[in-house]
Structure 1
Amino acid sequence: MYTLVVCEKPDAARRIAQALGDARESRPAGISVFDVTSDGRQYKVCTALGHLYGVADTTRNRSVYPVLDLEWAPNVKNPRVARAIRVISDVAKDASVFVHACDYDQEGEVIGHSILQYACGGKYEKALRAKFSTLTDDEIRESFANLVKPNSGLAEAGRSRHMLDFIYGVNLSRALAQSLKTARRYRNLSIGRVQGPTLAFAVDRELEIRLHVPDPYWTVAAQFEKNGKAFSAQYEKPRVETLVEAKSIVSACIGKDGAVSDDAENKVLLRAPTPFNIGDLQREAYRLFRLGPGYTLGIAEKLYLQALISYPRTSSQKLPPSIVYGKIISGLSKIGSYGKLTSMLLSRDRLMPNEGKMTDPAHPAIYPTGVAPRQKLSGLEFKVYDLIVKRFLATFGDPAVSQHTDVKIDVNGYIFKAEGRTPVYEGWMIFYKPYVRLEQRELPELHKDDWVKNLGVEMEEKFTQPPHRYNQASLLAKMEQEQIGTKATRADIIATLFKRNYIAP
């Protein structure tokens, strides 16, 4: 007799088997099964291929709607799925203990529940649960030494969400398809409980853009000089509403030197960033590399399966001390060019990350494990990995300091404002280069009652602008703000909207 371990993906099964002991792989029907002996116990580690089972319409007739009678059935359209179910069912017959080792989140709980219930003959309630946030050897062994009961409430919540999504999505999509069929046209259309409202965000924004009526306004700027250094200043009203007023300001100020009427200096502290959750990572990767949310998530999952980062599908911005900051940073010191940065942190008496407010009951924020890559990462994989490493290191950095100088200049009774920004202390930003830098805007030394030479005053006509169209990153942020979709589904929904050309790239 042996323990059957059910994993979500082949790479995860291989890592878990290798962490447990000397793994021997066999491939019945082309599906990997790993035999492992560890501490006198025998394990058979099997793999799913993601969802082996899904919600299905009992009529199996795509032209029927509304559909309310549902069942969970094998995803038999994929022949590998059928083979995987058959292999797992065969291995389950002689198993005495069952371990659910799929991803520790709602979707992973549903995948494991379906396999244990349907492929293994109703073994979910009797199974044990492995809980881990990284696929490092130490954490896998620790999780198997402390197995818990499965979270049936989480499984039922996930199953309910799948059924609701199916009821909304299938019925509305079939109604849409039928309407086009009636009009003697055909197009593959889909709509859903989350997809529809997300598309509505983009539609509402597009209507706002198209209905926008540009209103003219003017800006007035002046060029001054002090001690041979030229600088610019803006009129105190950022928008001058009429051409007459703008012309009168320019006319009154041309050729008139200015006097500094007020100057203020203050140091501004810029706190370290919070650790990445999946939404933060997706938006930052889009800002820096123009990677779509789905693509970023795919890369992050590859890094997780290589035990290089923690589980990426998390909402948390917390890094608990239990992950052992020093151990991770020490591991990173032996990887690539991180030695200098890590030595700066390891020399400290205390390591305390700057955490955000968001939490996740299953996993902490995304963090590097400190394990060195066993194979060379691709270009984009390395970019995302480097971004995660440097964000992690930056959370332990000191606040950055910037000197802000604000000056008011009186020109014939009209006030112009100049702003200076001078970096004082890089703090955490040294760890996050090249992804961030302190703003620098130089001003000459100015004090109250100083006179400055007027080099010229100009006005510029501008027009009010409509809001920007949503891109993939801003649409993701809108979904998070409105709390629709989940961290596991938002990227796929956005990708579907662009793929079907509901939203233009």
Structure 2
Amino acid sequence: MESQKLPPNLTYPKTLHRLYIAEKPSMAAEIAKCLPGPASRKDGCIHTGGGVITWGYGHILRQAEPDEYDPKYERWRVEDLPIIPESWKLLVADSCKKQFEIIKNLIEQANEIVHAGDPDREGQLLIDEVLDYVHNQKPVRRLLLNALDEQSIRKAIANLRDNQDFQNLKQSALARSRADWLIGMNLSRAYTLAAQRAGHRTTLPVGRVKTPTLALVVRREREIENFKQADYFTLKADFEHSDTIFTAYWKPREEQSGLDTEGRLADKAIAQALLEMLQAATEPAAVISCETTEKKEPQRLPLALSTLQVMAGKKFGYDPQVVLDTAQKLYERKLTTYPRSDCEFLPESQQDDAAVILGNLTGLAHRELAGWSGKADSLIRSRAWNDKKITAHHAIIPTVERCNFAALNETERNIYFLIAQAYIAQFYPVHVYDQTRAELEHAGERFTANGRIIKELGWKEVYGAEAEEKKEEDSGTLPAMSKGDRARFIQASAEKKSTKAPSRFTAATLLAAMKEIHKYVKNPDLKKQLKDVAGIGTEATRATIIKELIERGFLREETKRKYLKPTEPAYLLVDMLPEELTYPDFTALWEDILRQMAEGSASLDAFLGQQARFAASLCTKAKGADIPLKGDHHCPRCRKGVLQLRNGKHGKFWGCSRYPACRASFDDKNDKPDIPVRKAQGQG
């Protein structure tokens, strides 16, 4: 690339001791405030007594498009697929050329460089790729900023790490970027061309994460369309023991007749017969077993981004992108820590700030947060404090910066509330209760009763009713019983219920599905393996993927609840693609490999070789894809394409959508193809 001249008013000292490269200007400004000496802003950088700070604007470099490898790829052709770069090419983004030149010149003059990208996979790559692009040989340190308040920045500057420690994280980000290119560039072309051969005038974007996400919504919609409501009956009985009346629920035996495939009683006559038999029995019920166990429920962990997005969606109806944008604003205002975190744990050293943070929350102009934090015990150490669970970032929590709650807008207040609430809960005791399970027999039928007695409310005081998972067959408080006791039967009843269709996804519940992707895999053997994988996509990209599917017309939001429904192009895309692309099994496994790569136990070259072979095999599959024809006039010659009106040298004519594989052509007659009878009968 040709070097651009620096602006004439830009001068640097001949040698810089230390150069900080931040991911964005706002972060650079905060770092500058924490370095010694006066700060002076120049074009594209800030000078201080402790070094010079410059910045990018996200990715300064971009992946080259296929036609930038070879001009022949500008035209989409089946015979050119798959496109596999022999060596990967990056180009300076047009909007960043001036800033790139500034960074390049500053790197040349520095003795030492501090990588100050965001503390995640992409943040690692976007600074590293610039350093690699300019062939930097200077030593590089890594600054990990999980919060932008002054105390956190100063602490991070005092604890710089060797950037080589994050080489594996960069490899993982490179693997993700290049795999997405191989899948997206090749398969979008392959299946768009296949659709066009069948007469569809459309472009179909295929993505490693985007496509299985879209398929989740399509399959859910079809489940709803094909749902047939079924009735079933729940039998329960009231018993009395030690002057206490309680409810127990009937449990059918394996050989019980009248059950549906889910083990529910679906036969009304059998339900009625059971009720009559229970009512007619004169013997008291026998207690078969009764066990009481003390249970302890640890504090709900602080929030990762996806957890925050799901909670905010359920509680406030917020779109995931709104949650991310708001969390980013709170971070930039130094009120909360780094938002794009996939971690729900905290470094043990961070507990030193607990008293200050809780003290600040006590003074908030918010009755609940102030009240809860006032009762919190900063010395309590929940399971959240665990250095072994920390990578480059930790859970999202309030910083030591005092928050002017009244100055926040409503959305910011609500998001800050959820973050602070989860943090405060760490300083309440564990929730303790006695769980009792009793089994009774009456008239030869088995009944079970479950009850609990809370011994210490603990952290659930902060969450109240929303922390309780009320189960349908919860019997409330049970009397003390022992095996062999008798209980008086009072009455039995059968409640008629109906099965319900699955709910449509909203943006928040779809995001939760992407995170808990093991629930949706097709291969049952993978379910357990994938339960430990952090879903498909990343904390930073899931909201963007859902937003793009909506903006590109594959999903639409309906009703006040903003339920997601697929559009016609969504059905076309999902139906024509092979299962390897529409089920999340492979994508989730790839995410697992990327995680292994970040930990140093998987190879970049091996992974990309696998992806290249995968892309090639699916390009071959696209040639034989079964796609419904779109058009009024099917080609009478090949019978696999449709005739489309085109303009030629001699005017309008009709040609086959599968050209050049099929060269059938017909004259235009009153805006219809003039097909001779013998050709229409397949004789020509």
Structure 1 residues 380, 228: CA separation in 2 closer, same or farther (over 3 Å shift)? farther
Q: Matched residues in 1 for 2:512 and 2:453: separation?
A: 30
Distance 1:184 1:392 in 2: 56
2:52 maps to which of 38, 44, 69: 44
Residue of structure 2 aligned with 1:367, choices 392, 397, 408: 397
Question: How far apart, in 2, do the equivalents of 1:364 and 1:401 lie?
Answer: 27
1:333 equivalenced with 2:359 (yes/no): yes
Distance 1:275 1:185, change over 3 A: same
Secondary structure at 2:516 match in 1: helix
Say which of 128, 131, 138 aligns to 2:141: 128
Mean Cα deviation higher: 365-374 or 354-363 = 354-363
SS of the aligned residue for 2:455 comes to strand
SS at match of 1:59: helix
1: CA distance, partners of 2:282 / 2:555: 53
Cross-structure match for 1:72: 90
Q: Equivalents in 1 of 2:26, 2:443: separation in Å? A: 73
- Corresponding residue for residue 194 of structure 1: 209
1:133 is paired with a residue of what secondary structure? Answer: coil
Alignment of 1:157 onto 2:133:
no
Q: Which moved more, 1:9-18 or 1:220-229?
A: 220-229
Residue 261, structure 1, aligned to residue 275, structure 2: no
Q: Deviations for 1:212-269, whole angstroms, at most 9, x for unmatched residues?
A: 6666533224467899998654333372243332120122345878945336544432
Contact 2:210 2:545 in 1 (8 A): yes
State whether residues 286 and 293 of structure 1, in contact with CA within 8 Å, keep that contact through their aligned partners in structure 2: yes
| Structure 2 match to 1:493 | 545
Distance 1:286 1:86, change over 3 A: same
Contact 1:98 1:123 in 2 (8 A): no
Sort the Cα spacing of 1:109 and 1:477 in 2 relative to 1 into closer, same or farther, 3 A. closer
Aligned to 2:125: 110
2:252 equivalent to 1:239: no
Aligned to 2:626: none
Aligned pairs (5 A) from 1:353-392: 353-354=383-384, 359-373=389-403, 376-392=407-423
Tell me, in whole angstroms, the C-alpha distance in 1 between the residues paired with 2:141 and 2:410: 39
TM-score, structure 1 normalization: 0.81
Letter paired with 2:359: S
1:286 counterpart (295, 313, 323): 313
Deviation at 1:135, TM superposition (A): 2.1
Report the counterpart of residue 494 of structure 2 in structure 1: 458
Contact 1:277 1:317 in 2 (8 A): yes
1:459–1:162 CA distance, 2 compared to 1 (3 A): closer
For structure 2, the 5+ residue unaligned runs are 1-12, 253-262, 519-530, 557-563, 565-684
What is the CA deviation profile of residues 465-488 of structure 1, one whole-angstrom value per residue up to 9, with x for unaligned ones? 565555324322334746543344
Aligned to 1:307: 334
- Output the amino acid matched with 1:246: A
1:129 & 1:418 partners in 2: Cα distance?
A: 57
- Do 1:16 and 1:140's aligned partners in 2 also have CA atoms closer than 8 Å? yes
Q: Distance in 2 between matches of 1:374 and 1:185?
A: 55
Residues 447-474 of structure 1: per-residue CA shift (max 9 Å, x gap): 64343543x62342544x5655553243
Instruction: Write the letter of the residue equivalent to 1:195.
Output: K
CA distance in 2, matches of 1:257, 1:224: 13
8 Å contact from structure 1 (residues 7, 102) kept in 2: yes
Q: Write the distance in 1 (CA, Å) between the matches of 2:113 and 2:130.
A: 11
* Structure 1: gaps of 5 or more residues: none
CA contact (8 A) 2:343 2:394 kept: yes
Question: Structure 1 residues 285 and 329, CA, compared in 2 at 3 Å: closer, same or farther?
Answer: farther
* Distance in 2 separating the partners of 1:158 and 1:264: 52
| CA distance in 1 between partners of 2:298 and 2:171 (Å) | 41
**Structure 1 position 86, deviation (Å):** 4.4
The answer on whether the counterparts of 2:229 and 2:498 sit within 8 Å (CA) in structure 1 is no
In 2, distance between residues paired with 1:404 and 1:154? 45
Does the aligned pair in 1 maintain the 2:449–2:475 contact within 8 Å?
no
User: In structure 1, the residue corresponding to 2:330 is in which secondary structure?
Assistant: helix
Could you report, residue by residue, the CA deviation over 1:259-290 in whole angstroms, capped at 9, with x for unpaired residues? 45336544432222233333433333333334
Aligned equivalents of 2:501, 2:388: Cα separation in 1 = 32
Counterparts in 2 of 1:213 and 1:156: CA distance versus 1, 3 Å: same
CA contact (8 A) 1:5 1:99 kept: yes
CA distance in 2, matches of 1:346, 1:398: 9
Preserved CA contact (<8 Å) 1:62 1:174 = no
Say which of 172, 176, 186 aligns to 2:191.
176
1:101 Cα deviation from its structure 2 partner: 0.9
| Count of aligned positions | 489
How far did residue 343 of structure 1 move?
4.8
Which shifted more, 144-153 or 407-416? 407-416
Change (3 A) 1:93 1:383: same
Alpha-carbon distance between aligned partners in 2 of 1:434 and 1:52, rounded to the nearest angstrom? 48
Following superposition, the deviation at residue 379 of structure 1 comes to 2.1
- Cα distance 1:405–1:141, how it changes in 2: closer, same or farther (>3 A)? closer
CA root-mean-square deviation: 3.8
Of 92-101 and 255-264, more deviation after overlay is shown by 255-264
Preserved CA contact (<8 Å) 2:428 2:459: yes
Measured in 1, the distance between the counterparts of 2:443 and 2:175 equals 71
Which one of 314, 322, 331 corresponds to residue 349 of structure 2?
Answer: 322
Once the two structures are aligned, what percentage of the paired residues are identical?
Answer: 24
